[in-house]
Structure 1
């Protein structure tokens, strides 16, 4: 039954598409000839300003165009200096940084303490509307001690501070950002990163070239001269353009297509695990109405028992993906694995629905923004036990705004934690009464607050464990699976993927 449910979805279309491509002529890849790497993004980036988008594509642009004070080596997980050369904890709520001298932004502005102070003070101010508040709301302010020494003051102890400063917290030029703001930064980005932006067509097309003045950064010096990035939502169109020589590099390719492409002489297919997990978020708090079925525990448990996660992983994701049972990625600090899990049991799901007062099931809106084949498979599993779904596929930004403003009854979501290897980067994002919290559980929020701020690692683990166990017991989320990513690129391109799902263009070169 499970395989049949999946096959009735979009998988057949994907397979047929893959087979039809076999008749294409061999690709005429030409990026190397003009030193331009042509890349496709699947999702639209709502704003290139990295503080005003939360899509993975935006994260990749952030790491390409801007730098943070610190850098985490993806191979060793060691923290090393980037815009800062050294740092120390002055006390539990104060970090002091010695800044790298001689660094210039793409527009010629000199980097110094004024830029750090301006950036931190701007993004830490909630009124300025940074999209993902959890990335920045642990900072109180920054203070200049001298031209190349700065202190960042925390609102309270936050042990994951260095991890965040090595990830989503980038430094902006104070003079330029004060003049143009997020709208201007989105149209004409200026950073210190390995590539500078030369053209932006919002949401559709980005052109970059290597920054010849790039400092001695642990990211490495860029080797490919230019990047030409276009938003192409349809994967089949991306693959067709790859064959026609209009693209050199695509990623997030479904397993079926990737398997077929792996046999092409002039293409390389690389698969790597990621920190991204998929999950169903259920409106337990009644944001869409107190009478919605997902406010009932037995309904939420029925959803968890209705999904054959193992079959979805085996039939659709493949590669290095695996079933997950908890509301975080297993490698993240504090990600408790000993929690209540829900085996696939459709009969139990039906019985739970009947006990909850829905012997004939019910109808609900079901939302998703990516991986239509995965989402349709999930919807079909729910349909089979009597939860009839009105399927809505929205753009990421539209679904995010809907969830923030009024909530959704049930939605298929994914989260890559900005590649931050700490449970605060995912569980605390969604269970501390923020605009995307569908549970609004005071006890969970309070436990996470202790875990996020304690300087005792064992206490942090203990309180994350309590929170994650209750999230599982109450079935606030239905954790589904970890993601893997298939990268497909020309044999002319040298690229090695990393488990944090960040495409580092500065490490790429031509063969």
Structure 2
């Protein structure tokens, strides 16, 4: 077995195996990495996209004011060299002087201010608008290399948002006189990243080459070709023939099968996505339902064999059981919580104590990873809970949840690659969320309080209290973290980072 696994809390370069013949012109021979992506690529402008494929591309073609070190989750300089809080509502950002766009022009404060002001403009319709407008009133040019950000609200994630969501655009990029063109960068991207676009055939192929004037560390591979190949079987055939060097989101059975072939390696690393069961503890859908009893919720936690699900269904050894309502590497995700180890006998005892010695019937909703959902169902049925698995499309689940018709569902959350508890907590434990089924207003208060201070120690304390209460009261059944599974040719070294985001710009040939 050649599978290589990354440590959950470290960054390690993984790839080994036997060399094999590639198709002519593939790989190191012409210094071209060929990658396959299933999701259709139609728009290169990350300000107007959200999918994982677009995140991967944006990190190659674009750059942000700051960067996030995936090994330690620390903010580091990017296009910006430093920042300073002038007061609670004002931030000055100093820019590097050696940053160039792919058209050769130098980046200045006017470009940065234009980008941010355009994002929060109601006419922009940018996908980043809701996030940035939460805290930004407007950006102002102080001098050629200094931008002042006037805040609309205190938000502890401001610098993190700058590091992860806002790719910089040249002043006037979306305007032709009085006319607005939302798709100006969709096909002809002018970024400041380590690779520039040479050719783009939407839905077919994207060709990138190393940008020699990139301000940061130059990538080692000179060219990257990204091919849209929707069919996983076709991707496998291309990998085996040498037509591609890299594929991701690989099903575990496929990854293990191809790993046995010479010249192909299965890489598995951690991902920030987690899976969990949300329980109707507050009686939102069923006011007098069994899930309003703490003992029943504790029984469900004890009933599920999370280590087995992680090892055999989620992939690669990078998936792990979780016990908190967040990912263990996220800021604020305390692990000092009540843990419910797999113990079906204790689960049966708790059900009997709660008045359900013969169990009860429960609709359990799910929308992805059916084998995992069926394993959860089997474990719950083994302790006497009669499960009706409602396996549906996400939109159907969303509609039922909005109508308060769901007592229990298996959810997942990836936090948009952000290693902070804020996003998962805000979405699932705010008083306006239809995902909040606990009815615990103190948890809501802690979550909101954590968002209203920039004091990191205080934020951690608030999240620690909220996460500990969620576990103590068994409002959720935390299940497992996800594994990011890849197949690569053995001549490629591809680093796996703790946040699960693939960074093709960091790949190199052996």
Q: TM-score range by the shorter chain?
A: 0.7 to 0.9
Deviation sequence 1:370-395 (CA, Å, 0-9, x none): x443344334434553121021255x
TM-score (normalizing by structure 1): 0.79
2:451 pairs with 1:452:
yes
1:80 aligns with 2:79: no
Given that residues 29 and 248 in structure 1 are in contact (C-alpha distance below 8 angstroms), is that contact kept between their aligned partners in structure 2?
no
1:154 aligns with 2:151: yes
* Alpha-carbon spacing, 1:294–1:223, altered in 2? closer, same or farther (3 Å): farther
Q: Give the superposition deviation at 1:63.
A: 1.7
User: Alpha carbons of 1:274 and 1:357: their partners in 2 closer, same or farther (altered >3 Å)?
Assistant: same
Q: Deviation per CA, 1:295-325: give whole Å up to 9, x if none.
A: 7355655543442111112222342332111
**For the structure 1 residues 404 and 146, does the alpha-carbon distance in structure 2 shift closer, same or farther, using more than 3 Å as the test?**
farther
Q: Secondary structure of the equivalent of 1:280? A: strand
User: CA shift at 1:81, angstroms?
Assistant: 2.2
**Separation in structure 2 between the aligned mates of residue 134 and residue 400 of structure 1, nearest angstrom:** 25
Q: For residues 484 and 365 of structure 2, what CA distance do their matches in structure 1 show?
A: 25
How many residue pairs get aligned? The number is 477
After TM superposition, the structure 1 stretch with the greater mean CA deviation from structure 2, 353-362 or 104-113, is 353-362
C-alpha contact 1:120 1:142 (8 A) present in aligned 2: yes
Question: Equivalent residue for 2:170?
Answer: 173
Stretch moving more, 448-457 or 124-133: 124-133
Q: Is the 1:194–1:222 contact (alpha carbons within 8 Å) kept by the matching residues of 2? A: no
Correspondence for 2:193: 193
Contact 2:271/2:501 (8 A) holds in 1: no
CA distance in 2, matches of 1:191, 1:400: 38
Structure 2 residue 385 is matched with structure 1 residue 389: no
CA distance in 2, matches of 1:73, 1:96: 22
Q: Give distance in 1, aligned partners of 2:96 and 2:258.
A: 44
Q: Show CA shifts across 1:112-134 (max 9, x none).
A: 22332233234446884636945
Structure 2 segments unaligned to the other structure (5+ residues): 1-19
**1:324 aligned partner:** 322
Query: For the residues of structure 2 that align with 1:138 and 1:233, how far apart are their CA atoms?
Result: 41
Equivalent runs, 1:464-479 vs 2, <5 Å: 464-479=463-478
Q: Which has the higher helix share?
A: 1
After superposition, the CA RMSD in angstroms is 3.8
Q: Quick one: which of 369, 372, 375 aligns to 1:374?
A: 372
Q: Which deviates the most, 423-432 or 295-304?
A: 295-304
Check if 1:130 corresponds to 2:131: no
Q: Which residue of 2 aligns with 1:210?
A: 209
Q: 2:339 aligns with which of 341, 350, 366?
A: 341
| Superposed counterparts of 1:61-460, under 5 Å | 61-75=57-71, 79-106=75-102, 110-124=106-120, 128=125, 130=127, 133-134=130-131, 137-178=134-175, 182-183=182-183, 185-197=185-197, 198-199=199-200, 201=202, 204-212=203-211, 214-218=213-217, 220-221=218-219, 223-232=221-230, 234=232, 236-282=233-279, 296=292, 298=294, 300-301=297-298, 303-316=300-313, 317-346=315-344, 355=354, 361-362=360-361, 364=363, 366-369=365-368, 371-382=369-380, 384=382, 385-393=385-393, 409=406, 410-433=408-431, 437-439=435-437, 442-460=441-459
Q: Which runs of 5+ in 1 are unaligned?
A: 1-25
SS in 1 for 2:262: coil
| Paired residues of 2:193 and 2:211 also in contact (CA < 8 A) | no
CA distance in 2, matches of 1:356, 1:62: 55
Distance 1:366 1:120, change over 3 A: same
Which residue pairs with 2:4 in the alignment? none
Contact preservation (8 Å) 1:325, 1:480: yes
Greater gyration radius:
2
